[in-house]
Structure 1
Amino acid sequence: MNEPETRLHILYDISKELFSSFPLDNVLKAAMNALAEHLQVRDAGIVIYGDEGEPWITVWAPTGHDVHSRSLTIEQADAIDRVVASGETHFGKKYFVFPVKVNRKSIGALWIDRAYIGDAQEDQKNLLKMIAYLIGLTCQRYRCRDDGSVTEEQPAGGVPNIKPKPHLTQFDKVDWIVGESPAIKKVLETTQIVAATNSSVLLRGETGTGKECFAKAIHALSIRKSKPFVKLNCAALSETVLESELFGHEKGAFTGALCQRAGRFELANGGTLLLDEIGEISPTFQAKLLRVLQEGEFERLGGTKTFKVDVRVICATNKDLEAAVRRGEFRADLYYRINVVPIILPPLRQRDGDIPRLAQVFLEQFNKANGRDFAFEPSALDILTKCAFPGNVRELANCVQRSATLASSNTIAPSDFACQQDQCFSALLWKADGDGIGNNAMHRLDPRDTISSGLRAYAGTPSGATATMEAPGVTERDRLINAMVKAGWVQAKAARILGKTPRQVGYALRRFGIDVIKG
């Protein structure tokens, strides 16, 4: 500590301020002043978010500095948004940020510039965690009754009361995302939390996992939902075309530019812009993109006028960006700018029970579009459930559409699937590529080999022994044995191969009466 005071004494003084009866913003200011006095902190603050996702109570240290005279820097806002979205403490190079929670939900953050407290010891970090916890308890007093109505007086200065955000199910506003598996529910919960902020989001996952659908969900659940949602696939576009698409161009800027054209950033002003396949843009253009992401400013191609826009950018990729940074193919500063809140989308093989639900939805869409009345036999859905689907949701949709198109009756049977007729070309693709489809690094990312610890190790699409394990018609018991053999009878490794937890694998081994071979 900077002064010879006990932790208990500091907590007492701050608690005394927090549990006074003044309006909430005044209470938080008094607590921050007490904190600054005890720890001699001169750059710190408390940010509490309102029900629309905007920071509406912001207090600063020392006395006299508040939201009217100061504003968060980009680095501060990014660190705070990351903590609010994840609910985890952030010990960065510049800032310590602690989540403020009400009923285990992050509604704000306590942040401190670490330069003023040096290399904090564990007792200091624990003290700040407790203070953030006390702030959360204080906010809870100003929240609402059990029926959801506000009970406390409105804070001074017209600041709204803290309202509990209603718990949204995935079908309330994002009914285009289908699934009840734990993996998809977890991602939907994260999506809902992230949507309430303006943080940059990086959607990661294998091809066909629905990155565009989740980007649309983030927009639909945000305060920008009434503004445009604009998307652009950055792959296979030349640098000039990409610059024109994003920033627009003036008449005569290049051959064929016959008139002035607004770019995607202009069209998305006030709303959300999805940049798909962000890992495919050239290093030269990465620098241009970094500028607009940091400053919100750009010029049209061939023009000199500077345009300023307010756009939330969501990026998506199935590429190993960390490896690209190490190879010098992707700028590190751009990587950190877009990777504020990464969301890892689970492959279909890890979404237990979702394949039948998705198949039914795709079949209903086919029926509606073609005026048909097809239905699945239960055994047909069982065949689909056993398939690996390395192309994920997109491949499943294609499989359902093909089977319905060529079905011999209104009831789709197992014999209507291409895999039962030795005509599944995806299976041929699995066997042809020993490292996964298209040598896609996202299929092979291992947390031990990359700084992106959120990505789980998985061998990827079936090939070799794995292709045999996932081949149509193989029983669940056979797949389990094949996975155990491939994993050297290590249950944790077999669980990764099967997309299950070690506990599930252990249960399956007991259910099928399989004895584990120990070396």
Structure 2
Amino acid sequence: MTERSAQTMHKPEFWGSGIYRISKVLIGPASLEAKLAHVMKALSEVMPMRRGAIVVLNAGGEPEMIATLGIEQSSQGARCIPAKPAIDRIVAKGAPLVVPDTCKSDLFQAELQASCPTTFVGVPMKADRETLGTLWLDRAKDGGTRIQFEEEVRFLSMIANLAARAVRLHRHQSRDGQPIVGGEGACKTSSGERELPEPAPQRPTKIEWIVGGSPALKKVVESVKVVATTNSSVLLRGESGTGKEFFAKAIHELSPRRKKPFVKLNCAALSAGVLESELFGHEKGAFTGAISQRAGRFELAHGGTLLLDEIGEISPAFQAKLLRVLQEGELERVGGTKTLKVDVRLICATNRDLEMAVADGEFRADLYYRINVVPLFLPPLRERSGDIPRLANVFLERFNRENNRDLAFAPAALEVLSECSFPGNVRELENCVRRTATLARSGTIVPSDFSCLKDQCRSSMLWKIADRPLAANTLNGSIESPVSLGYSNGPAGLTMAPHLTDRELLINAMDKAGWVQAKAARILGLTPRQVGYALRRHRIQLKKI
């Protein structure tokens, strides 16, 4: 590795993409060893390193190498562990260890003397304050600064803690009958018989409000069942309308906190001042209109689960206040001085590219690391088309109950629905079913009842492939490139239909963004100021949702 590439890889903006890839690897279906091996490989691509290892403590508390990079396995196997004195110190103190020059440390005289001079950086792998192992790396001595080492330790600690969560989840799974390396999950008695762990309390396993049987959905549901048994923070990722709130409810109902409150809040719908009052509460007289003391959502969710939807839309100033609560578990109501302790399991949801927001300085990296402990990626409806008929029937049954009707789909009608892409996902499918059922002329819904087959479906203009691309738009009074609404239906993606006017284009984007100008600006590839100007120019009244 050249000196220039090593310096480039030191930059924190490269670490966001690394932690994103590592998060996806750790929640995948592979074995624990394979996951941790991928972690080391991904780590080597964003950090300068000569070699490194993930060392996990077995049932007896002894370190065993699970994943390595640049280390040759000797005939002694896992028992021959490089840098073992340093690893023992990290485990004993539960704290990181940085040795700028290993030649000057007694900890490395036995193992690393031949490779001097090198720099060693090691961090503990912790899950809920329990040290499960260590993550370490070394490299040729490069004269790193104190600030550089602090940044590296902070980044490596995040990776190590994510790996520790994966180890703990793997051990929970092994108690349900799956094997685990090192024989953990069961111990032997003096007579040599296996002694099984105590059975965990029975919790509900069926998620009735999530409908579908596609492989993409089943994979997420299985991850939800595993994640729910812990107190780890969860970040639900996915397009708008994929049902992030329903998955958050599933995590709560399958968790030990299911008998406590499940509280939710949409962060995008509130200003920073109102959001602070909603989350932290306020004292009487804290501001105009505060006629009584009010508990915030954190207090209301004490002992239970708090869902913060659209977490990517909160302002940088409020991000710092939220981070303190998440780190300390303490808060003060607006206008108050009393510190309140809260115990809340946090679930966040977003359809925004947080990694890009961190790189652009719009979202704090430390808050990103705090909420992105276990990311779950929800599949769009176009990746689970086999679920569309089942969902459509559920929505139609709901419509029938609410309106005292007895409608049913003809098989051909369900085929029409299955061929649609539905970029608005489950929400758009439900709207389509309700619209069609409302206008149906008989007790059976047939293909001719659908608006899209009569060229009357306005929402289809957002996703149907245009015969020719939109050449320009003049939302801000200047020529722009074709506007993409963020939908994708294959490698080429989709563009707006060319016959839409600028006013319609703007209204469609605002509708999709829930009438939040900042979100509409990202959809249109403009700035919020340009969108505001275009709204005034077209005399479009803002809607309050």
- Superposed pair shares fold, TM > 0.5: yes
The one-character-per-residue Cα deviations of 1:242-280 (angstroms, maximum 9, x if unpaired) are: 000000001111111111100000000000000000011
Identify which of 413, 437, 443 aligns with 1:404: 437
Q: Is the 8 A contact 2:408 2:445 kept in 1?
A: yes
CA, structure 1 residues 284+439, in 2 after alignment: closer, same or farther (shift >3 Å)?
A: farther
Conserved in 1, the CA contact under 8 Å of 2:125 and 2:132? Answer: no
CA shift in 2, pair 1:341/1:407, >3 Å: same
Q: Which amino acid aligns with 2:59?
A: L
Q: Are 2:187 and 2:195, in contact at CA under 8 Å, matched by a contact in 1?
A: no
C-alpha distance in 2, partners of 1:368/1:166? 33
- The alignment status of 1:223 with 2:270, answered yes or no, reads no
Residue pair 2:126, 2:160 contacting (<8 A) in 1 also:
no
Matched, 1:235 2:268: yes
- Structure 2 matches for 1:47-446, cutoff 5 A? 76-77=126-127, 93-94=156-157, 106-107=170-171, 134-135=181-182, 137-140=183-186, 161-163=197-199, 172-430=205-463, 443=487
Please give the alpha-carbon distance, in whole angstroms, between the structure 2 residues aligned to 1:82 and 1:202. 23
1:42 partner letter: R
CA contact (8 A) 2:90 2:124 kept: no
Identify if the C-alpha distance between structure 1 residues 188 and 228 changes in structure 2 by more than 3 Å, giving closer, same or farther.
same
- Structure 2 CA distance for aligned equivalents of residues 461 and 347 of structure 1: 15
**Whole-Å Cα distance in 2 between the matches of residues 133 and 294 of structure 1?**
32
Give unmatched runs, 5+ long, in structure 1. Answer: 1-26, 46-72, 84-90, 110-131, 144-150, 155-160, 445-455, 466-519
**Aligned residues of 1:204 and 1:318 also touching (Cα < 8 A):** yes
Match of 1:28 in 2: 59
CA distance in structure 1 between the partners assigned to 2:461 and 2:404 by the alignment = 33
TM superposition shift of 1:44: 2.9
SS in 2 for 1:174: coil
2: CA distance, partners of 1:309 / 1:392: 35
TM-score (norm 1): 0.60
In structure 2, relative to structure 1, the CA distance for the partners of 1:250 and 1:369 (3 Å cut) is: same
Paired residues of 1:429 and 1:437 also in contact (CA < 8 A):
no
User: Are the aligned partners of 2:91 and 2:131 in contact in 1 as well (CA < 8 Å)?
Assistant: no
2:304 counterpart letter in structure 1: G
**Contact kept in structure 2, 1:201 and 1:338, CA below 8 Å:** yes
Summarize deviations over 1:446-486 as a string: whole Å, max 9, x none.
xxxxxxxxxx9965556569xxxxxxxxxxxxxxxxxxxxx
2:84 pairs, out of 12, 33, 39, with: 39
Distance in 1, Cα, partners of 2:396 & 2:290: 44
Structure 1 residues 134 and 399, CA, compared in 2 at 3 Å: closer, same or farther?
closer
Deviation at 1:31, TM superposition (A): 4.1
Question: 1:43: Cα distance to partner?
Answer: 3.1
Structure 2: distance between partners of 1:296 and 1:457: 44
Question: In 2, Cα distance between the equivalents of 1:360 and 1:211?
Answer: 21
- Report the secondary structure of 2:346's partner residue: strand
Instruction: List per-residue Cα deviations over 1:354-393 (Å, max 9, x = no partner).
Output: 0001001111111111221110000000000001101000
Aligned AA (1:250):
E
Q: Is the 8 A contact 1:184 1:346 kept in 2?
A: yes
Distance 1:375 1:255 in 2: 53
* Partner-residue secondary structure (3-state), 2:59: helix
SS in 2 for 1:225: coil
CA offset at residue 93 of structure 1?
A: 1.7
Identity among equivalent pairs (%): 59
How far is 1:352 from its partner?
Answer: 3.2
1:142-171 deviation per Cα after TM superposition (whole angstroms, max 9, x unaligned): 69xxxxxxx8558xxxxxx24379898xxx
Q: Give the drift of 1:420.
A: 1.4
Q: Is the 8 A contact 1:209 1:348 kept in 2?
A: yes
Structure 1 counterpart of 2:332, one-letter code: E
Q: Secondary structure at the match of 1:343?
A: strand
Contact 2:225 2:251 in 1 (8 A): yes
CA deviation vs aligned residue, 1:207-245 (integer Å, no higher than 9, x gap): 100000000000011100010000000013111100000
8 A Cα contact 1:139 1:162, kept in partner: no
Shift of residue 439, structure 1, vs aligned partner: 5.8
Do 1:202 and 1:340's aligned partners in 2 also have CA atoms closer than 8 Å?
Answer: yes
Q: Residue 39 of structure 1: CA displacement?
A: 2.4
Aligned length, in residue pairs: 356
Distance 1:81 1:459 in 2: 47
Distance in structure 1 (CA, Å) of the matches to 2:483 and 2:211: 27
Which whole-Å CA distance do the structure 1 matches of 2:132 and 2:60 have between them?
23
Indicate the RMSD between aligned Cα atoms, in angstroms. 4.2
Name the CA shift for 1:239/1:38 in 2 (closer, same or farther; >3 Å): closer
The Cα of 1:289 is off from its aligned counterpart by: 0.4
In the alignment, is the contact (CA less than 8 A) between 1:174 and 1:217 conserved in 2?
A: yes
Q: Structure 2: any 5+ residue segments left out of the alignment?
A: 1-57, 65-78, 93-122, 134-153, 174-178, 471-479, 499-545
Cα distance in 1 for partners of 2:203, 2:302 equals: 29
- 8 Å contact kept, 2:280–2:299: yes
Question: How much has 1:322 moved relative to structure 2?
Answer: 1.2
Report the Cα offset of residue 75 of structure 1: 7.4
CA–CA distance in structure 2, aligned partners of residues 319 and 108 of structure 1: 31
Question: What is the alpha-carbon distance in structure 1 between the residues aligned to residue 481 and residue 273 of structure 2?
Answer: 32
Structure 2 partner of 1:485: none
Structure 2: which amino acid aligns with 1:408? R
Aligned residue type for 1:106: H
